[in-house]
Chains A and B, each alone.
Chain A
Amino acid sequence: GAVVSQHPSWVICKSGTSVKIECRSLDFQATTMFWYRQFPKQSLMLMATSNEGSKATYEQGVEKDKFLINHASLTLSTLTVTSAHPEDSSFYICSASTIYSGLGTETQYFGPGTRLLVL
């Protein structure tokens, strides 16, 4: 149990275009989803937290107009990188937690990540 998927796993786009990344909880209802960014050989940096049906809460220094997050249902959150530039190239990871089931609300379950390369 507690499987989280991400799509796409790999995306290349041109500078100035927008890219959408989907994060889905496959076998549980994710009441909270998180988006992280990770550079090679570095740690995960939390970008934002979203609860189903409400606006995302962004961490300090994260541009909310550039990184649009939507959490429309208990199984889906999306991250849209708007007007992407080469410096947005990174590995983006989502995670999910839930207040339901016996998984434990304290644990985050991670998706496999999405590699974004902006040319």
Chain B
Amino acid sequence: AQTVTQSQPEMSVQEAETVTLSCTYDTSESDYYLFWYKQPPSRQMILVIRQEAYKQQNATENRFSVNFQKAAKSFSLKISDSQLGDAAMYFCAYRFDYKLSFGAGTTVTVRA
């Protein structure tokens, strides 16, 4: 079974600063997808960013970017210029064979 580990239960960041969330995963596959989802207090899961494992280039979506290290099985998320609306729980997820495995989540707090 594939496992996803998020080692940071909570992270705090000052508004306009940068925060990086870590994620590692365990797999023997070579072709898969990785995702970061955001879950604000409303509990609606929102897709933040996705990465295809066969692509070397790190995905970027506006202020969100990832550092994908395939050999190290690491997939960290960087939030730049943090905004109050970024406060949420962030889940790293691994997809193989259509199923998603989620990490335990990291709660991000943004200080004004």
Contact A110 B35 (CB under 8 A): no
Cβ proximity bits A79-99 to B, threshold 8 Å, 1 near / 0 not? 000000000000101010100
Within 8 A of B (CB), among A10-44: 32, 34, 38, 41-44
* Number of A-B residue pairs at CB separation under 8 A: 50
Within 8 A of B (CB), among A42-56: 42-44, 46, 49
Contact A107 B50 (CB under 8 A): yes
Contact B98 A113 (CB under 8 A): no
Q: B residues within 8 A CB of A46?
A: 99-100
Cβ proximity bits B72-91 to A, threshold 8 Å, 1 near / 0 not? 00000000000000000101
Main SS at interface, chain A: strand
Is B44 an interface residue, CB under 8 A from the partner? Answer: yes
Complex alpha-carbon distance, A49 and B100, angstroms? 11
Among B33, B35, B45, B95, the one with the most A-chain Cβ atoms within 10 Å of its Cβ is B45
Contact A43 B99 (CB under 8 A): no
Q: B residues within 8 A CB of A112?
A: 42-44
Q: A residues within 8 A CB of B35?
A: 107
Other than A34-B99, A34-B100, A110-B37, give 18 A-B pairs with Cβ distance below 8 A.
Answer: A32-B98, A41-B89, A41-B107, A43-B102, A43-B104, A44-B45, A46-B99, A49-B98, A93-B45, A106-B50, A106-B52, A106-B95, A107-B33, A107-B50, A108-B95, A110-B46, A112-B42, A112-B44
The 10 closest A-B pairs by CB, nearest first: A110-B45, A106-B33, A43-B102, A112-B44, A44-B102, A113-B43, A43-B104, A43-B105, A106-B95, A108-B100
User: Hey, which bits of chain B sit against chain A, CB under 8 A?
Assistant: 33, 35, 37, 42-47, 50, 52, 89, 91, 95, 98-100, 102-105, 107
- 23 A-B residue pairs with Cβ-Cβ distance under 8 Å, sorted by A, are A32-B98, A38-B43, A41-B105, A42-B104, A42-B105, A43-B103, A44-B91, A44-B102, A49-B98, A93-B45, A95-B100, A97-B98, A106-B33, A106-B50, A106-B95, A107-B33, A107-B47, A108-B95, A110-B44, A110-B45, A110-B46, A112-B42, A112-B44
